[in-house]
Amino acid sequence: MFTTRPELLGTFGMVASTHWLASAVGMAILEKGGNAFDAAAAAGFVLQVVEPHLNGPAGDLPILFYSAERRKALVICGQGVAPAAATIERYRALDLDLVPGSGLLAATVPGAFDAWLLMLREFGTLPLSAVIAPAIHYARDGYPLTPGICATIGGVSGLFRDEWSSSAALYLRNGAPPSAGTLFRNPELAAAYERIVREAEDGGGDRETQIEAARGHFYRGFVAEAIDEFCRNNEFMDTSGRRHRGFLTANDLGAWQATIEEPLSYDYHGYRVYKTDSWGQGPVFLQQLALLKDMDLASMDPVGSEFVHTVLECAKLAFADREAFYGDPDFVQVPMDRLLSDAYNHARRGLIEPRASLELRPGDIPGFGAVPINRVATSDAASGGAAVLGTAEDTMAQYGGVRGDTCHLDVIDRAGNMVAATPSGGWLQSSPVIPGLGFALGTRAQMFWLQEGMPTSMAPGARPRTTLTPSLAFRDGEPYMVFGTPGEDKQDQWSLTFFLRHVHFGMNLQEAIDAPMFHSNHFPGSFYPRESYPGRVAIEGRFPGGTITDLRRRGHDVQIEADWCLGRLSAVSREGPLLKAGANPRYMQGYAVGR
């Protein structure tokens, strides 16, 4: 099978990510003697700098990893929580029925910075100064802009000029969006990170003590103070079409820390797949495996209509359960044992028919869940198929409604440590830049509902049900692979299809990444304005014409997309001493590096 690049093979180390600079930095850290955790943190900090439209220091971060020393798979939850003042009543008093998709009201506690440092402190080997130095270099001395960054800045340039002056000062320095391929610098971000490192080192102590001090300077020091002042003293335009202050305070930051947690897992055809708990959408991957387990996928054509239809219909059932049952397990009970049980999925599997379902059909588990809110779309906007305020893309940009995407990285070192991380949020286009810090707040609170009784109802201190969902898999009882992708609600669809093609059809990592991709938009979206498109399927134009024709005959609303546009997967695997890696060719940014 033709692939856009080779599947990499080696024995020393492998790094794959959504940006070549991050992959190169991660590999450089391995070459300097760092382990996979050092390399992942260094690559993650670089992604904050070189993909500011996809993630930032105040964004969100789940990490799935395997520690060879502890012989254990674990999760680091870097999903920040809702502020103490963020109650349904406070939003309703502002005449809002949805959390805005941009601006200060959608901010949760920044999670990414603490998650990287927690991983580095507990599992890394290098000092923070060595790990964060590449990110500081690119912020201070410049990095080449990709077309995607420039297009994003161009899309919100009017908003920056008219409303978000601090963002205009950074991203419109000559009064216009920068050009692709030019060097771009963020000196305020470089200075903030340099100050954190300097003050942490000035306090003395060993590596772990200095990392802990750096966490304090961000969450209880000058960074938290700047965020507090910014939210209290400024009003900014958001997707409601009005200006609002934020609820986030320094106390919120000081009261929160990233956590190390046990993952959920499911056994499937000799593999055990690990995902986050239900504060993320990760278990929906496992639910899809449970529905597909007894189906003869291997007899199907991996680009044929029977395979695509089967995967789509299982996705619809699993994601309906996501809406009905998933939420922060610290706040709601989630019947995960039942959702992953053979009996439950045998009954759910019986709902799948030869024709496409146009209904949202969550399961019925007495005493659990709630009827999902389904805002069926009535009009399409030019961006992402989402109708915003009943208008088109120019209004989305006017109010900061141009959503960001996400990053992903995977690392395995020669000792067998494995890391999969999916940083996102804190997008340059979704919230104003904070003066003196050089980055924007996240907007993950838009994933809460402003109705009581939902598993994802807004609640102070609760985690929004994030879409960020890295993956880790064992094979025959041994740690085998880390993988993932950006893509909002599509992450656990694209990752699943990649995994199924690798497991059932013998595709290597690069072949499974390169193969034409598809996904469903049938169920409610996690982002503002939370709409669904019943029966809609996005499919790359490279699929055979017969597949597309038959899917339409089965009742799917098929939307043909560009040939190379769906999915931004990367993956790294280990088979004994042999390491393998593959990365996404779409958008011409992702690369794997190894030897």
Q: pLDDT tier at 400 (50, 70, 90 boundaries)?
A: low
Position 297 in a domain = no
**Digit-coded pLDDT (tens) for 39-56:** 999 999 999 999 999 999
**For position 389, what pLDDT does the model report?**
25
Domain count, the chain: 1
For the record, the structure tokens of 245 come out as 């202050």
State what percent of residues in the chain have pLDDT above 90: 94
Position 54 in a domain = yes
Find the mean pLDDT for residues 88-94.
97
Pairwise CA distance, residues 45 & 407, whole Å? 11
Q: How far is CA 501 from CA 171, 230, 303, 542, 586, in A?
A: 41, 48, 10, 16, 18
**Digit-coded pLDDT (tens) for 362-381:** 999 999 999 999 999 875 43
Domain that holds residue 60: 8-260+407-447
Q: Which residue has the higher pLDDT, 93 or 403?
A: 93
Pairwise CA distance, residues 59 & 116, whole Å? 12
Query: What is the CB neighbour count within 10 angstroms for residue 257?
Result: 16
Return the residue matching tokens 């291997």: 298
Answer yes or no: is pLDDT of 114 > 60: yes
Position 497 in a domain = no
Query: Virtual CA dihedral for 394, 399, 400, 402, nearest 10 degrees?
Result: -40
**For position 403, what pLDDT does the model report?**
59
Return the residue matching tokens 């690559």: 43
State what percent of residues in the chain have pLDDT above 70: 95
Pairwise CA distance, residues 53 & 41, whole Å? 19
Which candidate, 536, 579, 582, 583, places its Cα nearest to that of 561?
536
Find the mean pLDDT for residues 95-103.
96
**128-142, 385-399, 515-529: range with lowest mean pLDDT:** 385-399
| C-beta separation of 293 from 266 below 8 A | no
**For position 405, what pLDDT does the model report?**
82
User: Using H for helix, E for strand and C for coil, what is the string for 262-323?
Assistant: CCEEEEECCEEEEECCCCECCHHHHHHHHHHCCCCHHHCCCCCHHHHHHHHHHHHHHHHHHH
Answer yes or no: is pLDDT of 490 > 70: yes
Find the mean pLDDT for residues 156-173.
96
Pairwise CA distance, residues 360 & 368, whole Å? 17
**For position 1, what pLDDT does the model report?**
80
Which amino acid makes up residue 194? E
Q: pLDDT tier at 93 (50, 70, 90 boundaries)?
A: very high
Answer yes or no: is pLDDT of 383 > 50: no
Position 131 in a domain = yes
Position 58 in a domain = yes
Answer yes or no: is pLDDT of 36 > 90: yes
Backbone angles phi, psi at 269, to 5 degrees: 50, 50
Query: What is the CB neighbour count within 10 angstroms for residue 110?
Result: 31
Q: What is the mean pLDDT of the chain?
A: 94
Pairwise CA distance, residues 421 & 432, whole Å? 25
**Digit-coded pLDDT (tens) for 550-570:** 999 999 999 999 999 999 999
Position 16 in a domain = yes
Answer yes or no: is pLDDT of 251 > 50: yes
| C-beta separation of 411 from 15 below 8 A | yes
**For position 396, what pLDDT does the model report?**
43
**For position 387, what pLDDT does the model report?**
29
DSSP structure string for 332-387? S---HHHHT-HHHHHHHHTT--SSPP-S------TTS--PPP-EE--S--TTTT--
Find the mean pLDDT for residues 571-584.
97
Q: How far is CA 174 from CA 168, 178, 435, in A?
A: 9, 8, 18
**For position 399, what pLDDT does the model report?**
58
Answer yes or no: is pLDDT of 455 > 80: yes
Position 540 in a domain = no
Answer yes or no: is pLDDT of 318 > 50: yes
Length of the chain: 595
**For position 174, what pLDDT does the model report?**
87
Q: pLDDT tier at 107 (50, 70, 90 boundaries)?
A: very high
**For position 388, what pLDDT does the model report?**
28
Position 97 in a domain = yes
Q: pLDDT tier at 402 (50, 70, 90 boundaries)?
A: low
Which amino acid makes up residue 417? N
**For position 194, what pLDDT does the model report?**
98
Which candidate, 49, 50, 42, 51, places its Cα nearest to that of 15?
42
Pairwise CA distance, residues 383 & 251, whole Å? 37
Instruction: For residue 141, count CB atoms less than 10 angstroms from its CB and return exposed for 0-12, middle for 13-18, buried for 19 or more.
Output: exposed
Answer yes or no: is pLDDT of 392 > 90: no
**295-299, 326-330, 402-406, 509-513: range with lowest mean pLDDT:** 402-406
Which candidate, 47, 27, 26, 45, places its Cα nearest to that of 405?
47
Which amino acid makes up residue 217? H
